[in-house]
């Protein structure tokens, strides 16, 4: 009898979960249908525990999304007292490579300056500074350290092997830094559930991610929705990569974690950004429709 009851409960919960996610899946499939691109999406509703995956186990190049685990690794060192956000880091002219996206270099073209670690993290996350990213990797001791950190979290479907400079020299190197949408959600859950950083570090990084100035994920949702996210993109002719992962907080404290990855896209740059914006809109609308029930 107990087995029958448990089975009936399982069927009820499964049916309820399917009903909740069916609308969002249909909405996303409508957006991506006919697009000349490989698109992966993973969603996790922190209130209901509902999940959704479309190509969730496929490998996607991370591009600048890899700056998120790098920042987590740095802040773990801060939490352990091995570094401080107030540490003054000397940045040489050689650290500021030309021909790559770098607001730090644009502001300090001659280099040879001291900058607090906190500011380097802000530049790296909020403005996706490539030189700032490689400075952080150097402080950690290289990509192997970051890879070891990721493995220590139990994440097997995320690898970081190349710096921004190495990817700039050899564009195909981007595929050495990869993850799956599902694994990206796992990392976001650890971050959101406060399992990998102390409160001060977690709050600092969350605020920094809300200040992200890149990407399109916020363009089709209301301004009072808080989005803490990290973007990543590369625009090689005929093969675009556009990514966005983050935490979406709806005003009633309903929180959705999302990971959207686009690769091998032959769509225009504008269309790729619109895909992400439209998916975010569907996620928001579905979340708010569940709240109102």
Task: Work out whether strand 178-179 and strand 254-265 pair parallel, antiparallel, or are unpaired.
Answer: unpaired
Q: 18-291: which CATH number, 3.90.120.10, 3.40.710.10, 3.30.390.50, 3.40.50.300?
A: 3.40.710.10
For the segment 244-252, the average pLDDT, to the nearest whole number, is 95
Q: Which of 63, 85, 50 lies closest to 167 in space, CA to CA?
A: 63
Looking at the DSSP assignment, which residues form a beta bridge with residue 90?
Answer: 114
- Specify the pLDDT at position 290: 57
Give the tokens for residue 115. 């900058």
* pLDDT of 238 over the 80 cut: no
Locate all alpha helices (DSSP H) within the chain, ordered by sequence: 2-32, 67-79, 103-107, 117-126, 130-140, 143-152, 164-169, 181-192, 199-210, 269-291
20 vs 2: CA distance, rounded Å: 27
Q: How open is the CA angle 147-151-157, to the nearest 5 degrees?
A: 90
Structure tokens at 68: 């998120």
Return the active site residues.
Answer: 64, 164
CA 87 from centre of chain:
26
Confidence of residue 16 (pLDDT cuts 50, 70, 90): very low
**Residue 104 — pLDDT band, cuts 50, 70, 90?**
very high
* Residue 289: predicted pLDDT: 78
pTM above the 0.85 mark? yes
Q: How far is CA 36 from the centre of its chain?
A: 23
Query: Do the Cβ atoms of 43 and 254 come closer than 8 Å?
Result: no
The mean pLDDT value for 275-288 works out to: 94
Share above pLDDT 70 across residues of the chain, in percent, rounded to a whole number: 92
Distance of alpha carbon 88 from alpha carbon 108, whole angstroms: 16
Distances (CA, A) of 280 to 59, 151, 162, 200, 245: 21, 29, 29, 28, 11
Domain residue ranges in the chain: 18-291
Number of H helices, E strands in the chain: 10, 10
Average pLDDT, the chain: 91
């Amino acid at each position: 009898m107990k087995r029958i009851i448990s089975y009936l409960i399982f069927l009820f919960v499964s049916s309820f979960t399917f009903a909740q996610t069916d609308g969002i899946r249909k909405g996303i499939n409508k957006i991506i249908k006919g697009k000349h691109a490989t698109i992966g999406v993973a969603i996790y509703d922190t209130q209901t525990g509902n999940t959704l995956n479309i190509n969730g186990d496929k490998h996607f190049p991370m591009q600048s999304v890899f700056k998120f685990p790098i920042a987590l690794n740095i802040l773990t060192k801060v939490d352990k007292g091995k570094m401080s956000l107030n540490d003054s880091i000397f940045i040489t002219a050689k650290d500021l490579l030309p021909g790559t996206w770098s607001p730090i270099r644009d502001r300090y073209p001659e280099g040879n300056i001291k900058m607090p670690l906190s500011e380097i993290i802000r530049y790296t996350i909020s403005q996706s500074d490539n030189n700032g990213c490689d400075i952080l990797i150097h402080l950690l001791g290289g990509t192997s350290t970051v890879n070891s950190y990721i493995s220590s979290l139990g994440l097997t479907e995320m690898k970081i092997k190349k710096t921004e400079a190495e990817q700039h020299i050899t564009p195909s190197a981007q595929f050495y830094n990869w993850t799956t949408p599902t694994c990206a959600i796992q990392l976001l859950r650890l971050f959101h559930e406060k399992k990998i950083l102390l409160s001060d570090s977690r709050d600092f990084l969350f605020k920094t991610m809300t200040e992200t100035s890149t990407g399109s994920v916020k363009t089709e949702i209301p301004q009072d929705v808080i989005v803490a996210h990290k973007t990543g993109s590369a625009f090689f002719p005929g093969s675009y990569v556009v990514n966005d992962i983050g935490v979406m907080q709806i005003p009633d404290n309903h929180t959705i974690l999302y990971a959207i990855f686009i690769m091998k896209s032959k769509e225009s740059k504008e269309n790729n950004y619109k895909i992400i914006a439209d998916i975010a809109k569907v996620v928001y609308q579905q979340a708010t429709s569940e709240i109102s029930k």
